[in-house]
């Protein structure tokens, strides 16, 4: 990842308007008492042609003041959607169906084309109340925003498909929350995502028995988001694409040691990008029972249960698609999930280990040996991958659990050398809960943003070493 990438052209889009009224409600943003820019992702901005400084005829230059207008006050972006749209969706929350949700504190307010010609949504979190807020205030805590920036930066560096945090603006309100010392500070976050179409978007249409809208949504997702030409079985093609992408995401979560925390169907994007970060944590060691959310009493979304949770979620998409297609071909695709997940997890583990794949069977054997050794040794996950990157395991008592891995690795070649200065640091860059809390404490106690910005820079540098 280059630090100063050549900016893309600014190419606004409005594709979402073609879906039509049943998919969203036009809403107004909240007006906030203050707008203090805390995080401006110039790297992500450049990929949609938004630049600081002068820019060129093809780009959209935004001063910090103009940035606050667009991403804190939600002045429409030139050429894109005229008014914010709160999206309608349902979802299974901890496996109970809830028809009473939707964008309760966010909306999509712009679309653009990225530097690889793909459609992107600019969506929000904490931008005010909507028809779906129920009893909620429509707001985001500043701590929640800081946590989302850290999660997305780390996941991007670890090669996990994720939404990207585009902007974080502190908004000067006092919020009351059960899970933070209150009153607590407020913020509005803008995220970039290749879509905000969730499994729950399909579930809502099935619930409404709206086959016409379902056909339109299938076409939108296949053509605009998956970049495919619809054939004779678009709903099956779409399902196949989503199963593959979600299986890959689950495999990448595992290799990253990431626990999302709330894998409800309304949080699962049909592009297979992870998004909507609440109580996330990275697992310090390979403990399949490690749980992120304090309210996940049964460990439904624990570290090692995430692949099963994702399988269950795509099954709900199959159920919804029954509105427009018969069951047997959906079941056939659904059954490919475990195999596709295992393949993706092995690829992701090898990637993080810094070795080139050989063949699927050998790679799976190496991945299995590796996860077994990590689980039995209790070696910190980040330490293991830091020491072993490139496929060379140190000798010593700490490494006896890894003898099988060592034997299998003798066939493997590094995919990248260790010449980047990151590998001379002595310790890995990680982002475990203690450090997240320390970064937040500096902000909460002293309004000191240095540890936060230093961490983002350190994560990006690790991303360069791994890329």
Contact letters (x/-) for ligand AMP, 60-99, by CB under 6 A?
----------------------------------------
x/- map, 272-291, ligand AMP, by CB under 6 A? ----x-x-------------
In the block, residue with structure tokens 């694409």: 241
Is the CB of 132 or the CB of 301 nearer to ligand AMP? 132
Q: Report, in Å, the least distance between residue 65 CB and ligand AMP.
A: 28
Count, residues near ligand AMP per rule CB under 6 A:
16
Q: Is 101 in the site for ligand AMP (CB under 6 A)?
A: yes
| Furthest-apart CA atoms within the chain: distance in Å | 64
> Which residue, 247 or 262, is less far from ligand AMP as judged by CB?
262
Among 70, 90, 139, 311, binds ligand AMP (CB under 6 A): 139
CB neighbours of residue 172 within 10 Å: 14
Residue 276 interacts with Mg ion (CB under 5 A): yes or no: yes
Q: Is 102 in the site for ligand AMP (CB under 6 A)?
A: yes
Total chain residues near Mg ion (CB under 5 A): 2
Looking at 203-211, 231-239, 265-273, 355-363, which segment touches Mg ion (CB under 5 A)?
A: 265-273
Contact between 170 and ligand AMP by CB under 6 A: the answer reads no
Q: Output the 3-class SS for the chain.
A: CCCCCCCCCCCEECHHHHHCHHHEEECCCCCCCCCEEEEECHHHHHCCCEECCCCCCCCEECCHHHHHHHHCCCCCCCCCCCCCEEECCCEEECCEEECCCCCCCCCEEEEEECCCCCEEEEEEECCCCCCCCCCCCCCEEHHHHHHHHHHHHHHHHCCCCECEEEEEEEEEEEECCCCCCCCEEEEEEEEEECCCCEHHHHHHHHHCCCHHHHHHHHHHHHHHHCCCCCCCCHHHHHHHHHHHHHHHHHHHHHHHCEECCCCCHHHCECCCCECCCCCCEECCCCCCCCCCCCCCCCCCCCHHHHHHHHHHHHHHHHHHHCCCCCHHHHHHHHCCHHHHHHHHHHHHHHHHHCECCCCHHHHHHHHHHHHHHHHHHCCCHHHHHHHHCCCCCCCCHHHHHHHHHHHHHCCCCECCCCCCHHHHCCCCCCCCHHHHHHHHHHHHHHCCCHHHHHHHHHHHHHHHHHC
- Single out the residue of 267, 291, 316, 323 in contact with Mg ion (rule: CB under 5 A): 267
Piece of 7-15, 21-29, 132-140, 203-211 that binds ligand AMP (CB under 6 A):
132-140
Q: Among 71, 109, 132, 301, which residue sits at the site for ligand AMP (rule: CB under 6 A)?
A: 132
The answer to whether residue 273 forms part of the interface with Mg ion (CB under 5 A) is no
The nearer residue to ligand AMP, 101 or 319, going by C-beta atoms, is 101
Among the listed residues 103, 237, 266, 276, the single catalytic one is 266
The verdict on whether 103 is a catalytic residue reads no
Residue 261 binding: pick among Mg ion, ligand AMP, none (C-beta 5-8 Å cut-off by kind)? none
What crossing angle do the helices spanning 327-334 and 234-256 adopt, rounded to 10°? 20
Shortest distance, position 393 Cβ to ligand AMP, whole Å: 40
Pair 288, 302: CB distance under 8 Å: yes
User: Do the Cβ atoms of 178 and 367 come closer than 8 Å?
Assistant: no
As measured in angstroms, the least distance from the Cβ of 186 to ligand AMP is: 10
Stretch 230-269: interaction string toward ligand AMP, x if CB under 6 A: --------------------------------x---xx--
Q: Assess 170 for contact with Mg ion (CB under 5 A).
A: no
Q: Which stretch binds ligand AMP (CB under 6 A): 135-143, 295-303, 332-340, 431-439?
A: 135-143
Query: Closer to ligand AMP at the Cβ: 115 or 180?
Result: 180
Which span sits near ligand AMP by CB under 6 A: 58-66, 130-138, 329-337, 429-437?
A: 130-138
262 touches, from ligand AMP, Mg ion, none (C-beta below 5 to 8 Å by class): ligand AMP
How far, in Å, CA of 276 to CA of 89, rounded? 14
- Per CB under 6 A, the list member of 35, 92, 105, 245 interacting with ligand AMP is 105
Binding mask 21-40 for Mg ion (x = CB under 5 A): --------------------
Q: Measured between alpha carbons, how far is 280 from 294 in angstroms, rounded to an integer? A: 10
Q: Which stretches of the chain bind Mg ion, using CB under 5 A?
A: 267, 276
Q: Which stretches of the chain bind ligand AMP, using CB under 6 A?
A: 101-105, 132-133, 136-139, 262, 266-267, 276, 278
Q: Which residues are catalytic?
A: 266
């Amino acid at each position: 990842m280059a630090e100063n990438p050549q900016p893309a052209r600014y190419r606004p889009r409005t594709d979402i308007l073609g879906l039509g009224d049943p998919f969203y409600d036009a809403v107004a943003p909240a007006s906030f008492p203050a707008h203090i820019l805390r995080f401006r992702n110039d790297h992500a901005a450049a990929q949609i042609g938004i630049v600081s400084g002068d820019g060129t005829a093809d780009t959209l230059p935004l001063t910090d003041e103009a940035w606050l207008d667009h991403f804190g006050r939600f002045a429409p972006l030139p050429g894109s959607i005229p008014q914010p749209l709160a999206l309608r969706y349902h979802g299974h929350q901890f496996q109970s169906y809830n028809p009473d949700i939707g964008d309760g504190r966010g909306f999509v307010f712009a679309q653009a084309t990225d530097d690889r010609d793909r459609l992107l949504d600019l969506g929000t979190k904490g931008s005010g109340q909507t028809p779906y807020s129920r009893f909620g205030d429509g707001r985001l805590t500043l701590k929640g925003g800081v946590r989302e920036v850290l999660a997305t930066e780390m996941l991007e560096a670890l090669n996990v498909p994720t939404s990207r945090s585009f902007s974080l603006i502190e908004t000067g309100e006092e919020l009351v929350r059960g899970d933070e010392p209150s009153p607590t500070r407020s913020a509005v976050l803008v995220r970039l995502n290749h879509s905000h179409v969730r499994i729950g978007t399909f579930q809502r249409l099935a619930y409404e028995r709206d086959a016409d809208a379902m056909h339109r949504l299938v076409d939108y997702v296949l053509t605009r988001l998956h970049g495919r030409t619809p054939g004779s079985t678009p709903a099956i093609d779409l399902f196949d694409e989503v199963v593959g992408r979600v299986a890959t995401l689950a495999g990448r979560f595992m290799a990253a040691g990431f626990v999302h925390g709330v894998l409800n169907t309304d949080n699962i994007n049909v592009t297979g990008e992870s998004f909507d970060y609440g109580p996330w944590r990275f697992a310090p060691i390979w403990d399949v029972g490690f749980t992120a959310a304090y309210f996940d009493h049964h460990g439904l979304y624990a570290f090692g249960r995430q692949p099963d949770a994702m399988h269950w979620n795509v099954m709900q998409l199959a159920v919804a698609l029954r509105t427009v297609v018969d069951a047997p071909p959906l079941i056939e695709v659904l059954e490919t999930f475990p195999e596709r997940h295992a393949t993706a997890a092995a690829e992701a583990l090898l990637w993080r280990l810094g070795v080139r794949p050989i063949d699927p069977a050998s790679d799976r054997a190496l991945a299995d040996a590796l996860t077994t050794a990590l689980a039995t040794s209790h070696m910190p996950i980040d330490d293991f991958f830091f020491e072993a990157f490139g496929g060379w395991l140190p000798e010593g008592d700490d490494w006896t659990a890894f003898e099988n891995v060592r034997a299998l690795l003798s066939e493997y070649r590094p995919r990248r050398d260790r010449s980047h200065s990151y590998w001379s640091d002595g310790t890995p860059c990680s982002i475990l809960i203690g450090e997240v809390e320390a970064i937040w404490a500096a902000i909460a106690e002293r309004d000191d943003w240095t540890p936060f910005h230093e961490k983002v820079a350190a994560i990006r540098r690790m991303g360069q070493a791994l890329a």
